[in-house]
Amino acid sequence: MFGVVLWNIWLARNAVVFNSPLPFHSSIIQSNKLLVERMLTAREVVSGGVRVVCAISAPSQWTPPAVGWLKLNMDGPKRSQDGSAMCGGVARDHTGSWQFGFSKFIGFCGVFDAELWGVWCGLQMDWDKGFRRLILEVDSLDVVRALKDDRRHGHICTLVLHIKMVLRRNWEVQVLHVTRSANSVADSLAKLAIPASTCVMYFKDPPSSIIPFLHSDVVSI
């Protein structure tokens, strides 16, 4: 970005040398500011229509997506009993209607890793089911930043890169950060994971223990 700005200043300098009149300094500054804004906007949009947003104030309540979009909420909590991690997610449409849910036992790892596994599982399910306009919400700002950042992240860089490869497929995906209170259904689903099981639990219909949280989200709309 710094090099592009310098190039823009060089072009302005050449315009001064070979053309008249001398441009105002404010016009050069404004041109560079506009260029930087366009570059930052372009960085938010990854090939395949992916937009990753790090909001300063995350939504505190669940809201439905626009018509034609699907919203996937994902969470990766840890069990208080033994510290093992799990992940879970729920997909709903613009009316708040249940599309599918899942949960999976991860094992002993950090919450960050568990959140990433949940993102990976959820994205694969959405893609396999033919959804092509998706809003992915997670309550981990670290995960959102990892998916936004082009740099690698130590031992989990492989998983992050695999997720980014999925995001770059031919679909529209928005990755958003939300508060835990807006992610209660996903959190409850994750806690239904069977310890030590390697299988993903798929829920075509909402489990009875989840229904109160679904109703709470719909009422808050």
- 79-117: pLDDT as tens digits: 877 889 999 999 999 999 999 999 999 998 888 999 999
25 and 131 part of one domain: no
6 and 64 part of one domain: no
23 and 92 part of one domain: no
The answer to whether the CB of 179 falls within 8 A of the CB of 59 is: yes
* Amino acid of residue 30: Q
76 and 91 part of one domain: yes
Which residue range(s) make up the domain with 21?
Answer: 2-45
103 and 53 part of one domain: yes
20 and 60 part of one domain: no
- CATH number assigned to the domain comprising residue 132: 3.30.420.10
26 and 107 part of one domain: no
The number of distinct structural domains making up the chain is 2
39 and 58 part of one domain: no
126 and 68 part of one domain: yes
The answer to whether the CB of 184 falls within 8 A of the CB of 216 is: yes
24 and 133 part of one domain: no
Mean pLDDT of 114-137: 96
- Considering only 10-24, 123-137, 206-220, which range has the smallest mean pLDDT? 10-24
The more confident residue out of 15 and 76 is 76
pLDDT tens-digit readout, 158-178 = 889 899 999 999 999 999 999
d(CA 39, CA 53): 15
Q: What pLDDT was estimated at residue 28?
A: 61
Using CA atoms, how far residue 152 sits from 25, 45, 146, 198, 216, in Å, is 39, 18, 8, 27, 38
65 and 8 part of one domain: no
